Chains A and B, each alone.
Chain A
Amino acid sequence: MADKKAKVIIVALLPVLVLGWLAFRAFENSAAYYYTISEVLVQEMRDQKLRIKGKLVKDSVNYDPSIPLLEFSLADQDSQVDAVYAGVLPDNFHHADEVIVEGKFNSRGQFTVSKLMLQCPSKYEGED
C-alpha cells in the first residue's frame, strides 16, 4: 500500500517538476521589469527587457507611414525618454492618456519598443 502511494506521488510530482522547469526556462526571455523613467535614466540597462509607463510628450510624435516608423517621447514628472517603434501608428495614439512600452535600449540610448500599449481615458467604460 505504501509502495503504491509512493508511486502515485512520484507520478504526480513529475508533471509539477516539468511545469516548474518550463516556467524557469521561459522566464528569462519573457520577463519585462517595470521601471519608472527617472530610474532607467540613472541606471544603465542595455540588455534588460523593460516595461516603462509614461505620459506622451504631445509634440514629440513623429510618424513615417511608409516604413512604418513611429518616434515619440515619454515623460514622467521630471525626466523624459525617447522611443522608437517599428510599427503602425495605433488609431488612438495621440489621445492616449498614458503609454506603456516594452522593449530594450539600443546603442544610441533610444528605447526600442517591441510592444506598445495605450491606456485611454475611455478604455471600456465612459467614466474616468
Chain B
Amino acid sequence: MHYIGLISLYAAFGSTLLALFYGGRASSSQPKLARRANLISILAAAASTSALAAAFLTNDFRLAYVARNSARSLPLIYKLSAVWAGQSGSLLLWLLILSLFSLAVQRSCRLRAEELDIPVNAVLGVVRLLFIILLLFVTSPFEVLPDPPHNGSGLNPMLQSLGMVVHPPLLFIGFSGFAVPFAIAVSRLWVGDSDSAWLETVRPWVLLAWVFLTAGIVTGGQWAYSELGWGGYWAWDPVENASLFPWLTGTALLHTLLPKTGIPARKWWCCALIVLSFSLTIFGTFLTRSGVLDSVHAFSGGAVGSIFLAVLAVLLVFSFGLAWLRRDCLREAGSERGSTSPLASAVLIGNILLLLLLGGVLFGTMFPLLSRTLAGREIVLDESFFNQVTVPFFLALVFLMGLAPVLAGSSGGWPGVLKQAWLPLVCGSAVGLYVTFAVGGGETAALPFGIAACGLAAHLRVLLGRQPRFSIGCTLVHIGLLVILVGVTGSSVYTDDIFVSVEPGQAVEFGSYALSYPGLTPRYGVDRYTVGTTLSLSRDGRDVGKLTSEKTFWENRSQPSTEVGIFSTFKEDLYLNLAGWEGQTAQLHLQRFALVSWIWGGAWIVYLGAAMALVGPVRAAKQGKQVKAWGRRTFS
C-alpha cells in the first residue's frame, strides 16, 4: 500500500513540474496540456493521502509514521485523524488541500473566462512543489521500518478528541486559502496588469480562507477548553498567535478589497496585505515547526522549520522585488483616487489598527528570541502583556466594526454618520451604565458590553431593513463577532473557582448549584483503566443535569489523561476537573465561567454569514459564465 503513496508523490512531483513547464510561460500556448498535467498532480496528491489513510485504517505498522501514531485498538475516526497527528502527515494533508484549491481555481468560471487559471495555478504549483519536495526528501510519511512492530505505540490521548479531527484541517484550509490570492496577485503583476479589475476576483477566495481560518482558531480554542482542563481557550501561546497573524491581515484585506470603500492607494494596500497574509502563513508554519520558541504544542524541531524560514526569505524578496518592478501597475489611475468618505477613513483606520495589533502580538511573541539575540538573556512576556497591549486595540476595532452599517449607509459625510449613529451609541451607553451599576465587573466588563450593544443595535437595523446598503452576509459575520466579544468578556470577567475534598454522599454548594458526589467508579478498557465520577447537579432543589470527570491510565503510556466535565448553559458553564483522590475521597476543582457558550454560538453566526456572503458572488459568476463560455464544462 505504501508504495502507492510514494509513487503517487513522485507522480505529483513530475506532473507539477510538467504543469509548470506548460503553464509557466507568459502567454501559454498549451493551456490544455497545462490543465491536464495539473489535474494529474492533483489526483496524485489525493492518491498519496488516500494511501496513507488506508495504511492507518489497515494497521500497516511497516510504516514508521503509522506505527508511531496509531494502534490496533484506536477507534476508526481517530485512525483517520491520526493521518495529520504528526509532522509529515500534516504536510501531506496540507498538500492535498492546496491541490484541492488548485482544482477550484481550475474550475473557477471567473478565472477561466480569461484563461487566468493557468498562470494562477503555475504559482500555486511552485508552492505545492515545495511541499512535495519536503515530503519526498526531508520528512516522508512513507518511511518503512526494517522490523515492523505487531502493534503501534498509539495516538497521544490528548489528540484523541473531536477537536483533533476538525481543528487541523480547518486551520490548514485557512492557511492554504491565502495562497490563492497571492497566486492571483503574482500572476497579474508578473504580466504587468495595470488594471485593478482582478481585485474583484480575489475577494471570494480571501473570504473563504478567512472563514476557515476563523473556524480553525475557534475550534482550536474549543478543543483546549474541553480537553486540556485549565478552563481557558486562549493563552497567547506562540502557536496560537501564529494562527492569529494571517487572520489579522486577512481581516484587513477583506475590507480593503470591498469595491465601494475607495480608500486611498487601495491597490497598493491590497497587494501588500495579500503578500503579508500569505507570508504570515509560512511564518506561522516556521514558528510551529522549528522549536525556536517554547510552546505547549509545537512539533518537534528539525530541518523543516529552517526550510520554511528560507522559503519565507525568498518569498519576501521575490514579492517586494516584483512589486518594485511593477510599481507603475500599483499606482491608482486618476478615476480611482481614494475618497475621504467616512467609510474609506474607517477602513483605513481599521487597517492601521489591525496592523498595529499584528505588530504588538508579533513583538510579544518574538520577544524571547529578540532579547536572546540582542541582550543575551531570554525574556518571556506572559499573557498579561498581550492582554494589556491588545485589548484596547481590539475594543477600538470592534467599536468601529459595530458602526459599519452606519458608516456604509450614510451619505452626508461625518455629520450624516452622527445623525444615524446616535441610537446605537445611546444603546451602548445604556448597557455600559447598566453593567457598571447593576451587574458589576468594573470598566473591564462595562466597556466591552457597551461596545457590543452599540454594534448589535446598529446591525439589527440592517436586519430590520432600515439600512439597505449593507448585505445580510456581512451583517451576520459582524453580529457573530459581537456575540463572541460578549462571550469572551463574560468568561474572562465573571469567573469563580473552588477546590474541595469530598466524601461520598457529600454535597458541594457552588454558585447557585448544589453538586452531590456519589463516589468514584472504575472502568476497564482494552488498553486502559479509567477512574471517574458523575456529580448530580441541582438548582433550587430541582435536578438539572450531571457532570462527569475522569482520569484514564493507559497501558502503553506513562502519563494519564483527564477528561473534564462541562455543564453548559446560556448563562454560564460549570467546569469540573477530577484533580485526584485518596480512597473514595476525591479532590475536585470546580470552575465557573459566564457566557462561554456565546463564543461558540457567535462563531456559528459568523460561518453562516460568511457562507451567505460567499454564495452571492459565486452565483453571480455562474450566471456570468453562462453568457461568456456556454457549455464548456470539461476539465481539459
Listed in ascending order, the chain A residues whose CB lies under 8 Å from chain B are 12, 15-16, 18-19, 22-23, 25-27, 29-34, 51, 63, 65-68, 88-89, 91-92, 94-95, 100, 102, 115, 117, 119-120, 122-128
CB contacts (< 8 Å) of B501 on chain A: these are: 65-66
Residues of A within 8 A of B353 (CB): 15
Question: For residue B296, which residue of chain A has the nearest CB?
Answer: A117
Q: Known A23-B360, A123-B297; judge A18-B392 contact (CB<8 A).
A: yes
Measured in the bound complex, the distance between the Cα atoms of B392 and A23 in whole Å is 11
Alpha-carbon gap, A124 to B237, bound state (A): 15
Q: List 16 A-B contacts (CB under 8 A).
A: A15-B393, A23-B364, A26-B389, A31-B380, A33-B378, A34-B379, A65-B580, A67-B499, A91-B560, A92-B558, A92-B559, A102-B382, A115-B382, A124-B86, A126-B156, A127-B300
Chain A positions within 8 Å of B104 at CB level: none
Beta-carbon contact of A124 and B68 below 8 Å: no
Assess whether A15 is in contact with B389, with CB atoms less than 8 Å apart: no
**Contact A31 B381, CB 8 Å, known A15-B353, A124-B297:** yes
Residues of A within 8 A of B392 (CB): 18, 22
> Are A125 and B559 interface neighbours, CB within 8 A?
no
Interface 1/0s, chain B 11-39, versus A by CB < 8 A? 00000000000000000000000000000
> Contact between B559 and A120 (Cβ–Cβ < 8 Å)?
yes
Q: Which residues of B contact A119 (CB under 8 A)?
A: 294
Contacts of A29 in B (CB 8 A): 384
| B117-162 interface (Cβ within 8 A of A) | 153, 156, 159
Is B352 close to A, CB under 8 A?
Answer: yes
B69 touches A31 (CB 8 A): no
Which label, helix, strand, loop or mixed, suits the secondary structure of the B interface? Answer: mixed
Q: Given that A66-B501, A88-B589 are known contacts, is A126 also in contact with B153, CB under 8 Å in the complex?
A: yes
A16 to B561, CA, bound (A): 45
Give the distance to chain A from B493, nearest Cβ to Cβ, in Å: 19
- Contact bitstring B370-400, A, C-beta under 8 A = 1, else 0: 0010000111111111001100110000000
Contact with A along B561-588 (1 / 0, CB 8 A): 1100000000000000101111000010
**Choice from B378, B388, B559 contacting A26 with Cβ under 8 Å:** B388
B313 close to chain A: CB less than 8 A:
no
Closest partner residue, chain B, to A125 (CB atom): B86
Question: For B153, what are the chain A residues with a Cβ–Cβ distance below 8 Å?
Answer: 126
Given contacts A31-B380, A66-B587, 15 further A-B contacts (CB under 8 A): A19-B360, A23-B389, A26-B381, A26-B385, A30-B382, A65-B581, A66-B501, A88-B589, A119-B294, A124-B297, A125-B68, A125-B299, A126-B69, A126-B86, A126-B153
Q: Does B551 sit within 8 A of A, measured CB to CB?
A: yes
Q: Which residues of A contact B436 (CB under 8 A)?
A: none
User: Which 8 residue pairs of A and B lie closest in terms of their CB atoms, listed nearest first?
Assistant: A92-B559, A34-B378, A26-B388, A30-B385, A126-B68, A65-B580, A88-B579, A30-B384
Cβ–Cβ < 8 Å partners of B377 in chain A: 33-34
Chain B positions near chain A (C-beta within 8 angstroms): 68-69, 85-87, 153, 156, 159, 294, 296-300, 352-353, 356, 359-360, 363-364, 368, 372, 377-385, 388-389, 392-393, 499, 501, 551, 558-562, 577, 579-582, 587, 589
Rounded to whole angstroms, the CA-CA distance of A1 and B379 in the bound complex is 45
Contact A68 B356 (CB under 8 A): no
Residue contact A65 to B582, C-beta cutoff 8 Å: yes
Contact B589 A27 (CB under 8 A): no
Identity of the chain B residue whose Cβ is nearest the Cβ of A120 in the assembled complex: B559
- State in angstroms the CA–CA spacing of A27 and B296 once bound together: 22
When chains A and B are docked, how far (Å) is the Cα of A89 from the Cα of B389?
A: 32
State which of B87, B382, B499, B559 has its C-beta within 8 Å of the C-beta of A68. B499
Which residues of B have CB within 8 Å of A32? 379-382
| A30-B580 in contact (CB<8A) | no
* In the complex, chain B residues whose CB is within 8 Å of the CB of A22: 360, 388-389, 392
Asked whether, in the complex, the Cβ of B587 is within 8 Å of the Cβ of A122, the reply is no
Given the complex, which residues of B lie within 8 Å of A15, measured CB to CB? 352-353, 356, 393
Determine how close the nearest CB of chain A comes to the CB of B148; give it in whole angstroms.
15
Contacts of A31 in B (CB 8 A): 379-381, 385
- Chain A residues contacting B364 (CB-CB under 8 Å) are 23
Q: Output the nearest chain A residue to B382 by Cβ-Cβ distance.
A: A30
- When chains A and B are docked, how far (Å) is the Cα of A99 from the Cα of B68? 24
Nearest CB in chain A to that of B581: its residue: A65
A68 proximity list for chain B (CB < 8 A)? 499, 579-580, 587
Q: Which residues in A have their C-beta under 8 angstroms from that of B388?
A: 22, 25-26, 30
List A contacts of B380 (CB < 8 A). Answer: 31-32, 34, 51, 102
B356, A26: Cβ atoms closer than 8 Å: no
A91–B159 Cα distance when bound, in Å, is 15
Q: Provided the pairs A91-B560, A100-B294, A126-B86 are in contact, do residues A26 and B352 lie with their beta carbons within 8 angstroms?
A: no
Q: With a CB–CB cut-off of 8 A, which chain A residues contact B156?
A: 122, 124, 126
Residue of B with least CB distance to A19: B356
Question: Given A15-B353, A22-B392: A91 and B551 within 8 A (CB)?
Answer: yes
A7 to B379, CA, bound (A): 37
When chains A and B are docked, how far (Å) is the Cα of A120 from the Cα of B296?
Answer: 10
Q: How many angstroms from the CA of A31 to the CA of B384 in the assembled complex? A: 9
B393 touching A127 by the CB < 8 A rule? Answer: no
Instruction: Give Cα A25–Cα B364 distance, bound, in whole angstroms.
Output: 13
State A70–B384 Cα separation when bound (angstroms). 24
| Bound-complex Cα distance A117 to B153 (A) | 25
Contacts of B297 in A (CB 8 A): 123-124
Q: B385, A27: Cβ atoms under 8 Å?
A: yes
> In the complex, A18→B109 CA distance in Å?
46
Q: Is the CB of B352 within 8 A of A95?
A: no
CA distance A110 to B365 in the complex (A): 29
Which of chain A's residues has its CB closest to B500's CB?
Answer: A66
Selected from B68, B368, B383, B559, the residue in CB contact (under 8 A) with A91 is B559
Contact yes or no, A26 B589, CB < 8 A: no
Closest chain A residue to B288, Cβ basis: A124
- Give the docked Cα–Cα distance between A92 and B363 (Å): 32
A128 contact set on B, CB distance < 8 A: 300
Q: A22-B389, A23-B360, A31-B380 are in contact. Are A125 and B562 (CB under 8 A)?
A: no
Closest residue of chain A to B155, judged by CB?
A: A126
CB distance from A123 to the nearest CB of B (A): 7
Residues of B within 8 A of A100 (CB): 294
CB of B410, distance to nearest CB on chain A (Å)? 21
The reply to whether B379 and A95 contact each other, CB–CB distance below 8 Å, is no
Known: A15-B352, A26-B388. A88 touches B86 (CB 8 A): no
